[in-house]
C-alpha cells in the first residue's frame, strides 16, 4: 500500500484516533497502540490548581505518534488562532486539527470561520488539518488557503451514523489535491472501509472505538478495516451494475447434458 504523506511527513497507518470518551487513560493507550495509528488528537483544558495527577499526555506520547492538538471549544477564527498558539507552545508541534463548531447541539463546523482561520494559521506556520463540512467548494477553498488536508465529516460528531455525506465525499475525493481525511460519524469498521474504498486517504475515529464494549479489540477491527478498504481502492474495485441482471462468473456451458 502507498504511504500517506501529509506536509512531507510519511505515515504507514491511515487511521487517526481521537482520545475522547475512553473509560480510562490506560484503555485509551492500549487502544491507540493496538490500532497502529501514527496520528492522535489531543484537546486542551484549563488546569485545575488542586489536581496534579490528571495527566493524559504521557499515555499518548510515543515516538511513532504525531500529536494532533485540536481547537475544540473555540467559536471563532480569532479564538482558534489563540488556541493554536497555546497548543503549539504546550505540545511542541505546529500540527493542528482546526475545529470551529459554535453550535453545541450538532457540533457542525462553521465554514466561514474555518476558512478564515486556515488562512491565518497557514501564514503563522501551522500545518492545518481543518475539520469541515463535506462541501466540495469549501474543501477547494481550504486547499487553496494552504490546508495540509481537508477533513470533511461523514455525519455529526459522535453519532456513529456512517457516511451520510457519501456523494459529496466522492466529489471531494475526486477534486482534492491534498489528502482527504474522513472525520466524524464513522461508527463501524465497515464505514471506515467504505470511506477508504471510495478513495479517502485516511479516517479519523474516536467515539466508535472509545465507547465499544472492548475498545482495544475495536481498535484492531478499525485498523484491519482501513487497511482492507485502502487495499481494495488501490487494487481497483469492479464496476457495480446499474440493474440486477446477473453476469456469470462460471462457464454456462451445460456440461452435464452434452
Q: What is the arrangement of strands in the sheet containing 202-205, beginning at the earlier edge strand? A: 15-17, 202-205, 181-183
Q: What angle do CA 13, 159, 111 make, to 5 degrees?
A: 80
Residue 124 binding another protein, by CB under 8 A: no
The span of 15-23, 110-118, 134-142, 211-219 binding another protein (CB under 8 A) equals 15-23
Q: Which stretch in 2-10, 29-37, 43-51, 135-143 sits in contact with another protein by CB under 8 A?
A: 43-51
The three cell numbers locating residue 176 = 482534492
Taking the C-alpha atoms of residue 72 and residue 42, their distance in angstroms, rounded to an integer, is 9
Q: Which of 6, 13, 18, 95 binds another protein (CB under 8 A)?
A: 18
Contact positions with another protein (CB under 8 A) in 141-180:
157-158
CA distances from 163 to 49, 120, 134, 183, 233 (A): 42, 30, 10, 10, 17
Give 95 or 233: the residue with its C-beta nearer to another protein: 95
Q: Using an 8 Å Cβ cutoff, are 36 and 13 in contact?
A: yes
Among 6-14, 30-38, 87-95, 216-224, which window interacts with another protein (CB under 8 A)? 87-95
Across the chain, which distance is largest between two alpha carbons, in Å? 88
Gap between the Cα atoms of 186 and 23, Å rounded: 20
20 is an interface residue for another protein by CB under 8 A: yes
Pick between residue 47 and residue 256 the one whose CB is nearest to another protein: 47
97 is a catalytic site residue: yes
What are the residue numbers of the active site? Answer: 97
The contact set with another protein (CB under 8 A) reads 18-22, 25, 28, 41-49, 52, 55-57, 60, 70, 72, 82, 85-87, 89-92, 157-158, 204, 206-207
Amino acid at each position: 500500500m502507498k504511504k500517506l504523506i501529509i506536509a512531507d511527513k510519511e505515515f504507514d497507518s491511515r487511521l487517526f484516533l481521537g482520545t475522547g470518551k475512553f473509560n480510562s487513560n490506560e484503555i485509551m493507550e492500549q487502544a491507540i497502540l493496538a490500532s497502529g495509528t501514527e496520528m492522535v488528537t489531543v484537546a486542551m483544558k484549563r488546569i485545575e490548581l488542586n489536581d496534579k495527577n490528571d495527566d493524559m499526555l504521557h499515555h499518548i506520547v510515543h515516538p511513532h505518534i504525531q500529536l494532533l492538538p485540536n481547537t475544540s471549544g473555540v467559536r471563532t477564527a480569532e479564538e482558534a488562532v489563540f488556541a493554536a498558539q497555546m497548543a503549539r507552545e504546550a505540545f511542541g508541534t505546529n500540527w493542528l486539527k482546526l475545529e470551529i463548531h459554535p453550535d453545541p447541539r450538532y457540533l457542525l463546523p462553521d465554514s466561514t470561520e474555518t476558512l478564515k482561520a486556515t488562512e491565518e494559521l497557514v501564514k503563522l506556520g501551522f500545518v492545518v488539518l481543518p475539520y469541515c463540512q463535506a462541501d466540495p467548494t469549501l474543501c477547494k477553498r481550504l486547499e487553496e488557503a494552504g490546508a495540509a488536508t481537508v477533513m470533511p465529516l461523514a455525519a455529526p460528531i459522535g453519532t456513529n451514523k456512517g457516511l451520510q455525506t457519501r456523494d459529496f465525499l466522492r466529489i471531494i475525493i475526486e477534486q482534492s489535491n491534498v489528502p482527504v481525511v474522513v472525520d466524524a460519524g464513522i461508527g463501524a469498521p465497515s464505514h471506515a472501509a467504505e470511506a477508504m474504498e471510495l478513495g479517502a486517504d485516511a479516517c479519523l475515529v474516536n467515539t466508535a472505538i472509545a465507547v465499544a464494549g472492548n475498545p482495544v479489540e475495536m481498535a484492531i477491527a478499525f485498523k484491519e478495516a482501513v487497511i482492507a478498504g485502502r487495499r481494495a481502492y488501490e487494487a481497483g474495485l469492479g464496476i457495480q451494475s446499474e440493474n440486477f441482471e446477473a453476469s456469470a462468473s462460471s462457464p454456462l456451458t451445460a456440461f452435464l447434458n452434452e
